[in-house]
Amino acid sequence: MASAKDFLKSEEGAVSIEYGLIAAGISIAIAFIVWAIGDKLLIMYTGVDSQITPAP
């Protein structure tokens, strides 16, 4: 019976879930930032590409 009580009091699983939620939140934030500025980066790099002359 003591091992069942120890299992219920254990917080290791909760800590793992919290770290997983933090990682998921960071991933969502990064994805949103990339999505938000993606078009601006594409326009910028397209402009730079059009100004570069190919080597002879």
Residue 40: its H or E element:
helix 12-51
C-alpha dist (Å) from residue 43 to 25, 27, 30, 35, 50: 28, 25, 20, 14, 11
Does residue 3 or residue 16 have the better pLDDT? 16
For 26-30, what is the mean pLDDT? 97
Q: What residues does each domain of the chain span? A: 14-50
**pLDDT at position 22:** 96
Does residue 12 or residue 28 have the better pLDDT? 28
pTM for the predicted model, two decimal places? 0.55
Q: Which amino acid is at 10?
A: S
